[in-house]
Amino acid sequence: MIFCAFRADAMFVRKDCKDRIVINSDDSGVLVLVVHFYLMLNISKLRKSSDLRIIVFGISGSGVSSTGNTILGYHTFKTGTAFSAVTTSCTIETTKRLDKRLTIVDTPGFPVGMDENRLDETFHNLRHAVKMLEPGPNIFLLVVSVERFTEDHNFMVRCLQQLQDISKFTIVAFNRVDCLQEAKSTTMKHINNSETLGELLQLSSRRFVLFDNTTTDEMQVKTLFEMANDLIRKNHNSILTEGTFSGNAINQVNAVVNKRQEEWKNAMNVYGAKPSLLQRICRMCNIL
Ligand SMILES: Nc1nc2c(ncn2[C@@H]2O[C@H](COP(=O)(O)OP(=O)(O)OP(=O)(O)O)[C@@H](O)[C@H]2O)c(=O)[nH]1
Ligand SMILES: [Mg+2]
C-alpha cells in the first residue's frame, strides 16, 4: 500500500470532476497522514478481529452467568438460585484475560417449562446481545449442565437448529463437572459416546469444554480460549449477525414451537381423560 501510494506521484487524495481519485505531488505530509490512518485502521480492525467477543447463553438457571464470571476471572454478573430467573437483561463486561481482549455479554436464559411465549423475548435479547458486542460476537457459548439433559434442553436445541450459521460459532460449555464423581477424561468419553447429546453436539460441530464454576483454575479458560481461537481462524474472523436471530429464523422457530404444542395436545388427548398418579393419590388421601 505504501509503495503504491508513493509511486502514484503523490500526495493528497481528492476527487476530480470525473469522480476519480487524484493525487497531487505537493502534499507529501498529507499522504503520510493518510497512510498512517490507513494502517491504524487496519491494525485496529485486525486487533478487533482477534478479540474474543462471547455471548453466553443456555437454559435459565443452568449456570450461564456463573460461566461468564469464570471466564472473566472475577464475579460481576449476578448469579444465584431463585424461583424466577436471576438475569433479566443483557449485561456486558470487558477485560484483559490471558493476553486477550475479552468481552462477554451475559443473557437471560432460554425459558424453561412450557413458557414458549417468552421465546420472542429471548430472541429479542439475543439480537440485543449481538448489537452490544459491536462489531459482532465471534463465539456463541452454550452452557449446559453436565448433570442433566432434559426435555427443555431438547427443545432449546431444536429451536437453535433453525438458526442459520449458529453452529459455525457455537461451543458447548458443560458446567458443574465438580458435581460428578468421575474423572474429567471419563466424563469427556461419556459425552462423546452419548446418544442423548448427539443433536446438541451436532449443533456445536462436536466442540465442547468442561467447566467447574466453583474453581478459579485457569486451565479450563485456557482450553476454551484455544478452542475459540481455532474457531475464529476457521471462520476467517467472521461474526454472528442480528439476522441470525430474526426474520425467517423466527418463523422456523415458531414452527418448532407449534409442533411441540401439537405434540403436547395429542399427549393430553391420549392421557388427559385418565387421572394422573398425583390426582389419584390426592383423591385417596382426601386432599382434593
Ligand atoms: N457446583 C456448581 N454450581 C454451579 C456451577 N455453575 C453454576 N452453579 C450454581 O448454579 C446456580 C445458578 O447459576 P447462575 O449462573 O445464576 O445461572 P443462570 O443460568 O445465569 O440463571 P438465571 O440468570 O437465573 O437464568 C448458582 O447457585 C451457581 O452458584 C458449577 O459449575 N458448579
Ligand atoms: Mg444468569
Domains of the chain by range and CATH?
Answer: 2-47 (no CATH), 51-249 (3.40.50.300)
Write the DSSP string, 151-189. Answer: HHHHHHHHHHTTSTTHHHHEEEEEE-GGG-SS-HHHHHH
Q: What is the pLDDT of residue 259?
A: 86
**Which residues lie below 8 Å from residue 6, measured CB to CB, with a gap of 6+?**
31
Query: How many whole angstroms from 266 Cα to the centroid of ligand 1?
Result: 35
- The string of DSSP codes covering 27-72 is -HHHHHHHHHHHHHHHHHHHHHHHSEEEEEEEBTTSSHHHHHHHHH
Please give all residues whose beta carbon lies within 6 A of any atom in ligand 1, as ranges. Answer: 58, 60-66, 79-81, 85-87, 109, 175-176, 178-179, 211-214
CA of 90 to the centre of ligand 2 (A): 9
Task: Dig out the grid coordinates for 271 from the structure.
Answer: 392421557
Per-residue cell: 260: 411441540
Q: How far apart are CA 115 and CA 199, in angstroms?
A: 22
Q: Closest ligand 1 atom, CA of 79?
A: 16
Residue to mutate (ligand 1; options 76, 79, 81; most atoms within 8 A of CB): 79
> Which is the closest atom of ligand 1 to the Cα of 211?
31
- pLDDT reading at 227 higher than 50: yes
Which atom of ligand 1 sits closest to the CA of residue 87? 23
Q: Which residue has a Cα nearest atom 1 of ligand 1?
A: 176
Residue 86: CB partners within 8 Å, gap ≥ 6?
61, 65, 78, 79, 80
If you measure from the C-alpha of residue 62 to the centroid of ligand 1, how many angstroms do you get, rounded to a whole number?
6
Q: Does the structure show a pLDDT above 90 at 269? A: no
Number of the ligand closest to the Cα of 215 = 1
Helix 219-234 vs helix 64-72: crossing angle, to nearest 10:
90
Residue 54's DSSP bridge partners are 104, 139
Model pLDDT, residue 143: 98
Stated length of the chain:
288
pLDDT tens digits along 162-211: 998 999 999 999 999 999 999 999 999 999 999 999 999 999 999 999 99
pLDDT in tens, 118-142: 788 999 999 999 999 999 999 999 9
Which of 81 and 197 is assigned the larger pLDDT? 197
In our burial notation (b when 16+ CB lie closer than 10 A, e otherwise), range 38-72 reads: eeeeeeeeeebeebbbbbbbbbbbbbbbbbbbbbb
Probe ligand 1: pick from 75, 213, 216, 217, max atoms within 8 Å of CB?
Answer: 213
Of 122, 113, 101, 234, residue with least CA distance to 167: 234
Å from CA of 66 to ligand 1 middle: 5
Residue with cell 450461564: 64
Q: 28-75 pLDDT, tens per residue?
A: 666 666 666 655 655 555 555 569 999 999 999 999 999 999 999 999
